[in-house]
Amino acid sequence: MRTIRTMAIVAIVLGGALSLSAHEDFRVIGTISKQAGSAIDVKKREGTIVSIRIDKQTAISRDRKKVDAAALKVGETVVVDAYGDSEDDLLALEIRLVPPIGRGGQK
Amino acid sequence: MDRLSTATPHVPTTRALVRATAVALLIAGTILVTAVLPAEYGIDPLGTGKALGLSGMAAPAPEAAAVLPTGGRLTPVQEGPAALYPGPYKIDSRQFVLGPYEYVEYKYHLEKDASMVFSWMASADVIHDFHGDPDGQPSSAAQSYEKTTRRAADGSFTAPFSGIHGWYWENPGGDTITVKVTTAGFYTSAHEFHFDGTRQAREVRALDAIPASN
């Protein structure tokens, strides 16, 4: 019984690792409406709010220069490249802080 | 002393753990080959993906098959300087509006050595990557043909492999940009991929869509 249980756990872990590669890329553009350390909420132009997780691998930049996660403040405009199964389950790979939309863009 | 306090916890032997891990790896490997690879990447060495109806899940979009024209593949046969195809070429023209920092990918399915001509123009400079994704391969297998920032391009293209070939256009700034692309070629379908993860199969037009002049 223990052997079967061990086999099941290892199979589940391996299966979970394999399924990570099934994720797809998403870009979320909007303003930060909430900052909670390991996640940010981004309000998109159409008004919907997307919660995106952040980890140590998430690259954060402004004007192509790396900045600290502390720069992610409510009200900042961001372009987030993330991956996940859907917009309800996203991990940020890269976050760019950009000028507010409608007041000129970042080149 | 009661029975509980004297009970020795069961600790599996190293041999039992190794055996359990080996069996689990075997099960995971079987699931990988029979289900995950056919469903995610279209790789189906045992034919189980087809048997279980998983193979179609690896396609770029569920609607993709619906736009394939009758007559099937447009694979060229070289006859001296000419390449002959089993059917007429198709035409297509699209316009995309890219909001601030948005991107779109637009690609055609071409068989190896099949050709198309194209012209595209944007209302401002866009980040651009002309690239292709081989059939049945993960996105990491994509090959870039030209990657730069530009406003327009006109050219011809011969597919180096069977797959979807086309453009990634990204708006690098805060103003809206329009991109218009016009093509003609021996492709069989078109696919649109948006920055928000949505994708769409687009119908390409047959030659009889062009009215003949007298």
Q: Per residue in A69-105, is it b (16+ CB within 10 Å) or e — as a string?
A: eeebeeebbbbbbbbbeebeebbbbebbbbeebeeeb
Cα–Cα–Cα angle for B189, B191, B195, rounded to 5 degrees: 175
Give yes or no: residues B145 and B202 share one domain.
Answer: yes
The CATH number that applies at residue B192 is 2.60.120.680
Give yes or no: residues B37 and B88 share one domain.
Answer: no
Task: Return the structure tokens found at B134.
Answer: 């081989």
Chain A partners of B10 at a C-beta cutoff of 8 Å?
2
Q: What is the pLDDT along chain B (214 residues), one digit of tens a residue?
A: 444 445 556 777 888 888 887 887 887 778 777 776 666 656 677 777 667 766 555 544 433 333 444 457 899 999 999 999 999 999 999 999 999 999 999 999 999 999 999 999 999 999 999 999 999 998 889 999 999 999 999 999 999 999 999 999 999 999 999 999 999 999 999 999 999 989 999 999 998 878 888 7
Give yes or no: residues B108 and B201 share one domain.
Answer: yes
Residue B113 resides in a domain = yes
Residue closest to B172 by CA, chosen among A59, A105, A100, A45: A105
Query: A98 vs B32: CB contact, 8 Å cut-off?
Result: no
Give yes or no: residues B86 and B143 share one domain.
Answer: yes
Q: Which residue has the tokens 């048997």?
A: B51
Interface test with B, best of A9, A10, A80 (most B CBs within 10 A): A10
Alpha-carbon span B108 to B93, nearest angstrom: 12
The dihedral sign for the CA sequence B170, B202, B44, B72? negative
Number of domains in chain B: 2
Top-level class of domain A24-100: mainly beta
Give yes or no: residues B20 and B91 share one domain.
Answer: no
* pLDDT for B70: 41
* pLDDT for A20: 46
Residue B151 resides in a domain = yes
What range defines the domain where residue B100 resides?
A: 82-209
The dihedral sign for the CA sequence B12, B15, B19, B24? positive
Give yes or no: residues B179 and B89 share one domain.
Answer: yes
> In this predicted model, what pLDDT tens digit does every residue of A17-35 receive, in sequence order?
444 445 788 999 999 999 9
Interchain CB contacts (distance < 8 Å): A and B = 91
- How would you classify the pairing of strands A90-98 and A59-62? parallel
Residue B155 resides in a domain = yes
Give yes or no: residues B136 and B176 share one domain.
Answer: yes
What ipTM does this complex have?
A: 0.73
Q: Which of B24, B31, B196 sits opposite A10 (nearest CB)?
A: B24
Residue B5 resides in a domain = no
Of A8-12, A96-100, B41-45, which range is least confident? A8-12
The residue ranges of every structural domain in chain A are 24-100
